[in-house]
């Protein structure tokens, strides 16, 4: 990172002349420890000049990081030696200069609770860097690294900085622009444009604070500040004076802009009074993180007179901002995520982590009521939001008037979890109506998983049935054709004995008779020769044909079968009592007895039983999903029924 | 496909259910048991009397 050549680390303050030691060989800005002058050391021998930058003056650091905080990144230890606290158009960002063991410097940046390590890189196309600011946000691509196309996600302008400690910065007047770029499933970059048309390109690595093994952190006590409403003069307590840029007076509901955390400026807009279920200032635990509610708004979908929902801004010093949203009594928890995904302008479905998310809503909103404080503007009319759901999760893309694209990940949260977590057990929860966009069905079942399992199990059963099919002996135990005069029919007949050899087997009885416009009924008993146990069955065949109204017709079959199951081994015979239409001289029929025949019926019954549960679940899910999608303009079920 | 704890419970539950059906299917297949068979009725004695055989 070093671009300067300094001969010595000892510099004399240009105001008080006291000697100041730079710890880094590359840092160029420092606040004099004696007279608090912001100075820039000059290349050469120990000289410095006065800077027009404001010096950071606060009783406490902005966050938990402070000068002296130590940590480890990529197995290298570092220490924070200074910070540029940057006041951007829409947010506040802290750019910490860190000192590596070799006395060179690095950059650790915190913006709204997101922390990233910055590594300076060189563009393969430096001549393109001045054109990046002309690339529209979220739509077009630009190649600034060889073979890598980047989307612009955010364009911001820093108007003022506050210097603290010892810092490396090419910007010495506090005004610069940043452009954040992302490559789909790849790098995240920041291009810094200094006013001298000088460009710096950084590769960003987003890190969780816990990953940095930080020590000597600042213990957050109470940074809140009391400011006076610019409209009614009533005292407003600002919980996060360093982060919040806007607030609403609890007395007159007027919108105030927070100027550098010190004073309020009226925005000449008043919001409607509203009694929020979770009061601003409430502290509680959601998803294991201790949050404080710092703001609450009621939003109304533009163009819809009856769609209102509530959003609560939560803040935690370690993890930054998060949100709770409540619509029709259904809650969801949202957190910004750094996705390098372009603005999904016309996409009705997207994929993240192999999950399929479907467009649920596309809207703009306006704020009708507000309380507390906010890090962004309360004018949301130019923000377009697109929501993609895969319950219980959702991705929300917000396009702020083509200035920046922000992605949020939302997940359903139980209303009991919200109220218990926020310590509001005694409060009445908002009544639930319909099905929430991210709500899971009671006794939710993962249908895709269930169907996949059902398919696998079905294949296993099919394999086993095929095995049974090939191994079935299908042994003919008895076969005979009978010609019986009508006069002997009533006496019945008895067959010779035949033997079932298997310990247990089924028996198939096939009967066939050449009936012609006639019928034959057999009442039979299979009798065990030894035990006398009987298995009775009846079966008939009938076959009719004719010519009616110019057409030949037939009805019935000349063959029939009966299967008896699980017969024990032994000698058996059949007693058969045939009957037929009277008046025939003789009847003819044949009987075949086969043992150990394959039973496909068993396979289909079992298959039906396996499929029954997934089918019931599918039906329940369909009913539930139809109710969910009733609230969406992209209702796929409506399309089906049209 | 993401598999969470609830899904794991489903997998185990459905596997147990499928396992029971599998045992039933195996038993029926090996003993010649035709499930829900209504083709014949069994009575443990001969209604025709012992003298009727042959």
Give the span between the Cα atoms of A617 and A612, in whole angstroms. Answer: 9
- In chain B, whose CA is at the least distance from the CA of A444? B6
Burial class (CB in 10 A: 0-12, 13-18, 19+), A95: buried
To the nearest whole angstrom, how far is the Cα of A474 from the nearest Cα of chain B? 11
For CA atoms A606, A607, A608, A610, give the dihedral sign: positive
User: What is the per-residue pLDDT for A626?
Assistant: 92
Strand pairing category for A70-73 and A29-31? unpaired
For A425, what's the count of Cα atoms within 13 Å in the CB-facing half-sphere?
Answer: 3
- In chain A, whose CA is at the least distance from the CA of B2? A355
* Residue in the structure block whose two tokens are 């200032």: A281
Give the span between the Cα atoms of A209 and A189, in whole angstroms. Answer: 20
Question: Quick check: B45 pLDDT over 70?
Answer: no
Write down the pTM of the prediction: 0.74
User: What is the per-residue pLDDT for A175?
Assistant: 87
DSSP state of A173: S
Put simply, the answer to whether B2 touches A355 (Cβ < 8 Å) is: yes
The neighbouring-strand residues paired with A552 are: A547
Put simply, the answer to whether A605 touches B36 (Cβ < 8 Å) is: yes
User: For an interface test with A, which of B14, B40, B42, B51 has the most A Cβ atoms less than 10 Å from its Cβ?
Assistant: B40
Is residue A392 reached through a cis peptide bond, with omega within 30 degrees of 0 on the bond before it?
A: yes
Contact list in B for residue A496 (CB cut-off 8 A) is 54
The neighbouring-strand residues paired with A257 are: A246, A265
User: What is the per-residue pLDDT for A421?
Assistant: 94
**Pick from A92, A85, A100: which is nearest to A26 by CA?**
A100
First-to-final CA distance of chain A: 63
Contact list in B for residue A492 (CB cut-off 8 A) is none
Which of B1, B21, B30 lies at the smallest CB-CB distance from A449?
Answer: B1
Give the span between the Cα atoms of A225 and A119, in whole angstroms. Answer: 36
In sequence order, the 6+-apart residues with CB closer than 8 A to the CB of A568 are A500, A503, A504, A528
Which of B7, B29, B53 lies at the smallest CB-CB distance from A602?
Answer: B29
Residues in B lying within 8 Å of A, measured between beta carbons: 1-3, 6-7, 10-11, 14-15, 17-18, 21-22, 24-26, 28-37, 39-48, 50, 52-54
The 3-state DSSP class for residue B8 equals helix
User: What is the per-residue pLDDT for A7?
Assistant: 67
User: What is the per-residue pLDDT for A241?
Assistant: 81
Interface contact A441, partner B, CB < 8 A: no
Interface contact A453, partner B, CB < 8 A: yes
User: For an interface test with A, which of B27, B32, B54 has the most A Cβ atoms less than 10 Å from its Cβ?
Assistant: B32
Fold of A473-597: Jelly Rolls (2.60.120)
User: For an interface test with B, which of A351, A509, A599 has the most B Cβ atoms less than 10 Å from its Cβ?
Assistant: A599
Contact list in B for residue A601 (CB cut-off 8 A) is 34-35
Contact list in A for residue B16 (CB cut-off 8 A) is none
User: What is the per-residue pLDDT for A61?
Assistant: 62
Q: Which residues 173-202 in chain A show a CB within 8 A of chain B?
A: none
Q: Which residues 456-515 in chain A show a CB within 8 A of chain B?
A: 457, 460-461, 464-465, 468, 494, 496-497, 502-507
Question: Do residues A386 and A360 make contact, with C-beta atoms less than 8 angstroms apart?
Answer: no
Number of neighbouring beta carbons within 10 Å of residue A538: 14
Which of B14, B39, B43 lies at the smallest CB-CB distance from A563?
Answer: B39
Q: Number of residue pairs across A and B with CB atoms under 8 Å?
A: 138
Give the span between the Cα atoms of A387 and A363, in whole angstroms. Answer: 9
Q: Would you mind telling me the total number of residues written for chain A in this entry?
A: 642
Put simply, the answer to whether A537 touches B39 (Cβ < 8 Å) is: yes
DSSP string of A466-531, one letter each residue = HHHHHH---EEEEEEEEEEEGGGGGG-EEPPPEEEEEEEEEEEEEEE---SSEEEEEEEEEEETTT
Give the span between the Cα atoms of A153 and A200, in whole angstroms. Answer: 17
Question: Do residues A437 and A632 make contact, with C-beta atoms less than 8 angstroms apart?
Answer: yes
Residue A43 in tokens? 């290349």
Put simply, the answer to whether A606 touches B21 (Cβ < 8 Å) is: yes
Phi-psi bin for B9: left (phi > 0), alpha (psi -120 to 50), beta? Answer: alpha
Interface contact A450, partner B, CB < 8 A: yes
Q: Which residues 583-622 in chain A show a CB within 8 A of chain B?
A: 595-596, 599, 601-603, 605-606, 609-610, 613
User: What is the per-residue pLDDT for A422?
Assistant: 93
Put simply, the answer to whether B34 touches A563 (Cβ < 8 Å) is: yes
Put simply, the answer to whether A573 touches B53 (Cβ < 8 Å) is: yes
Which of A496, A507, A610 lies at the smallest CB-CB distance from B18?
Answer: A610
User: For an interface test with A, which of B3, B18, B41, B49 has the most A Cβ atoms less than 10 Å from its Cβ?
Assistant: B18
Question: Do residues A175 and A159 make contact, with C-beta atoms less than 8 angstroms apart?
Answer: yes
Question: Mean pLDDT in runs of 10 for chain A (642 residues)?
Answer: 66 88 88 90 78 76 84 94 88 91 91 89 92 87 90 89 90 87 87 84 90 85 82 92 88 90 87 94 94 96 91 90 94 91 89 90 94 91 92 93 89 93 88 90 82 92 94 94 81 91 93 92 92 91 92 94 93 92 80 94 93 89 90 80 50
Residue A309 in tokens? 């929902």
Contact list in A for residue B19 (CB cut-off 8 A) is none
User: What is the per-residue pLDDT for A1?
Assistant: 47
Domain spans of chain A? Answer: 10-212, 271-421, 447-469+602-641, 473-597
Give the span between the Cα atoms of A642 and A254, in whole angstroms. Answer: 47
Give the span between the Cα atoms of A445 and A289, in whole angstroms. Answer: 28
Question: Do residues A128 and A144 make contact, with C-beta atoms less than 8 angstroms apart?
Answer: yes
B53 pLDDT band (50/70/90 cuts)? very low
To the nearest whole angstrom, how far is the Cα of A492 from the nearest Cα of chain B? 11
Interface contact A43, partner B, CB < 8 A: no
Give the span between the Cα atoms of A421 and A322, in whole angstroms. Answer: 15
Give the span between the Cα atoms of A150 and A179, in whole angstroms. Answer: 11
Contact list in B for residue A563 (CB cut-off 8 A) is 34, 37, 39
Residue A121 in tokens? 């890189």
For A54, what's the count of Cα atoms within 13 Å in the CB-facing half-sphere?
Answer: 13
């Amino acid at each position: 990172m070093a671009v300067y050549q300094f001969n010595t680390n000892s510099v004399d303050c240009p105001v008080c002349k006291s000697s100041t030691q730079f710890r880094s060989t590359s840092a160029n800005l420092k606040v004099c420890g004696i007279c608090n002058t912001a100075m820039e050391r000059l290349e050469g021998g120990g000289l410095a000049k006065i800077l027009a930058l404001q010096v950071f003056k606060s009783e406490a650091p902005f966050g938990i990081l402070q000068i002296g905080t130590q940590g480890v990144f990529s197995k290298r230890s570092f220490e924070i030696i200074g910070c540029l606290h940057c006041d951007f158009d829409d947010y506040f960002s802290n750019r910490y200069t860190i000192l590596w063991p070799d006395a060179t410097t690095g950059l650790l940046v915190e913006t709204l609770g997101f922390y990233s390590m910055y590594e300076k890189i060189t563009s393969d196309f430096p001549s393109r860097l001045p054109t990046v600011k002309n690339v529209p946000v979220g739509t077009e691509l630009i190649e600034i690294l060889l073979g890598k196309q980047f989307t612009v996600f955010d364009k911001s302008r820093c108007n003022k900085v506050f210097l603290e400690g010892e810092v490396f910065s090419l910007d010495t007047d506090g005004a610069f622009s940043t452009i954040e770029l992302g490559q789909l499933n790849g790098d995240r970059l920041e291009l810094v444009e200094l006013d001298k048309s000088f460009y710096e390109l950084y590769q960003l690595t987003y890190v969780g604070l816990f990953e940095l093994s930080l020590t000597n952190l600042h213990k957050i006590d109470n940074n809140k500040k009391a400011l006076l409403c610019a409209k009614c003069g009533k005292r407003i307590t600002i919980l996060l004076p360093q982060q919040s840029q806007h607030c609403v007076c609890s007395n007159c509901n007027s919108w105030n802009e927070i100027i550098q955390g010190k004073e309020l400026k009226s925005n000449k807009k008043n919001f409607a009074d509203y009694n929020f279920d979770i009061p601003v200032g409430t502290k509680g635990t959601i998803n294991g993180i201790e949050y404080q509610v710092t703001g609450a708004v009621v939003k109304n979908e533009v163009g819809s007179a009856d769609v209102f929902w509530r959003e609560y801004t939560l803040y935690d010093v370690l993890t930054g901002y998060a949100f709770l949203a409540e619509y029709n009594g259904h809650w969801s928890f949202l957190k910004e995520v750094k996705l390098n995904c372009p603005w999904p302008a016309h996409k009705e479905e997207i994929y993240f982590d192999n999950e399929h998310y479907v467009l649920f809503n596309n809207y703009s909103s306006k704020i009708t009521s507000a309380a507390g404080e906010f890090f962004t503007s309360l004018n949301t009319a130019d923000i377009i939001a697109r929501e993609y759901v895969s319950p219980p999760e959702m991705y929300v893309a917000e396009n702020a008037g083509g200035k920046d694209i922000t992605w949020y990940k939302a997940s359903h949260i139980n209303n009991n979890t919200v109220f218990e977590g926020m310590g509001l057990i005694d409060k009445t929860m908002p009544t639930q109506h319909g099905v929430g966009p991210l709500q899971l069905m009671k006794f939710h079942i993962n249908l895709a998983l269930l169907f996949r399992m059902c398919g696998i199990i079905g294949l296993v059963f099919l394999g086993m049935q095929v095995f049974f099919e090939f191994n079935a002996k299908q042994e003919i135990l008895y076969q005979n054709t009978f010609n019986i005069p009508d006069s002997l029919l009533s006496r019945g007949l008895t067959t010779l004995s035949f033997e079932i050899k298997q310990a247990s087997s089924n028996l198939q009885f096939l009967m066939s008779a050449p009936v012609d416009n006639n019928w034959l009924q057999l009442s039979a008993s299979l009798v065990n020769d030894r035990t006398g146990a009987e298995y009775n069955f009846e079966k008939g065949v009938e076959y009719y044909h004719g010519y009616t109204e110019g057409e030949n017709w037939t009805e019935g079959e000349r063959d029939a079968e009966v299967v008896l199951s699980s017969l024990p081994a032994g000698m058996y015979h059949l007693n058969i009592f045939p009957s037929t239409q009277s008046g025939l001289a003789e009847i003819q029929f044949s009987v075949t007895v086969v043992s150990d025949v394959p039973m496909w019926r068993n396979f289909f019954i079992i298959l039906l039983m396996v499929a029954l549960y997934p089918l019931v679940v599918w039906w329940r899910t369909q009913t539930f999903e139809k109710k969910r999608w009733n609230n969406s303009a992209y209702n796929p079920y409506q399309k089906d029924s049209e | 496909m993401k598999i969470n704890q609830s899904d794991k419970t489903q997998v185990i539950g459905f596997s147990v259910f499928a396992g029971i059906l599998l045992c039933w299917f195996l038993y029926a297949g090996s003993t010649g048991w035709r499930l829900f068979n209504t083709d014949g009725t069994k009575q443990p004695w001969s209604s025709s009397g012992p003298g009727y055989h042959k």
